[in-house]
Amino acid sequence: NAGVTQTPKFRILKIGQSMTLQCTQDMNHNYMYWYRQDPGMGLKLIYYSVGAGITDKGEVPNGYNVSRSTTEDFPLRLELAAPSQTSVYFCASSALTGSNQPQHFGDGTRLSIL
Amino acid sequence: AQKVTQAQTEISVVEKEDVTLDCVYETRDTTYYLFWYKQPPSGELVFLIRRNSFDEQNEISGRYSWNFQKSTSSFNFTITASQVVDSAVYFCALSEARGDNFNKFYFGSGTKLNVKP
């Protein structure tokens, strides 16, 4: 019953450092998403993927990169961390067809850039 | 323009009170889906309910009920006899149908519910 698993749960980075947030799902979902949630705000879509090898930008992609080499994994990379990227990051997945499918979320990664 | 508006930023009630969380959405599509998610203090997002645009029947699940009204573009969520465990941030979301089957979600900014003992 793992669902969507994100690692790490917490991380502190210095400005300019890089890191990869890991996300894996075991539900064989084709669609995967990365969101960020700033304090007191809703979720904003960073990147999404409709299947292995296919990714596309969401609302706030600047400063991030993604890859999707397998159905299960969808890592998010920060190349040059900036204070504005301090946020909680959520990975989600949904089943193949139709916009009626709920998105299943991981527990989030709380990231602080100092 | 906001696709999903949750005008109530924070609501505080005393245990056993009823509380309604408002959600107003905006879309030009005739086929769309609405969702509610709960985010407890532990931080995870929990899926609560999904409704499609063709089904305006209200739904009840235990102490939870949802009122979907297309005429006012609203999808409100009521908790009856609230409990401390209901304290969380609640998000309303809209999903619009697209030709490529990609379901992009538009989330509201959330309503923080505080239920005091």
A94 interfaces chain B, CB cutoff of 8 Å:
yes
Neighbours of B101 (CB within 10 A): 14
Tokens 């969401």 label which residue?
A: A58
All residues of chain B having their beta carbon less than 8 Å from the beta carbon of residue A92 are 45
CB atoms within 10 A of CB B72: 10
CA distance A104 to chain B (A): 7
Q: Do A103 and B33 touch (CB under 8 A)?
A: no
Mean of the pLDDT values across residues A84-112? Answer: 87
Tens of pLDDT, residue by residue over B10-49, are: 999 999 999 999 999 999 888 888 999 999 998 889 999 9
Contact A53, A68 (CB under 8 A): yes
State what percent of residues in chain A have pLDDT above 90. Answer: 75
Give the closest-approach CA distance of B16 to chain A in angstroms.
Answer: 26
Instruction: Using a CB–CB cutoff of 8 Å, tell me whether A1 touches chain B.
Output: no
pLDDT at B56: 83
**CA distances (Å), origin B74, targets B4, B35, B68, B69:** 9, 12, 6, 5
- Report the residue of chain B nearest A93, measured CA to CA: B103
Q: pLDDT digits over B66-97, tens only? A: 999 999 999 999 999 999 999 999 999 998 87
Gap from B82 CA to chain A (nearest CA, Å):
22
| Residue B36 at interface with chain A, using a CB cutoff of 8 Å | no
* Inter-chain CB proximity B102 and A48 less than 8 Å: yes
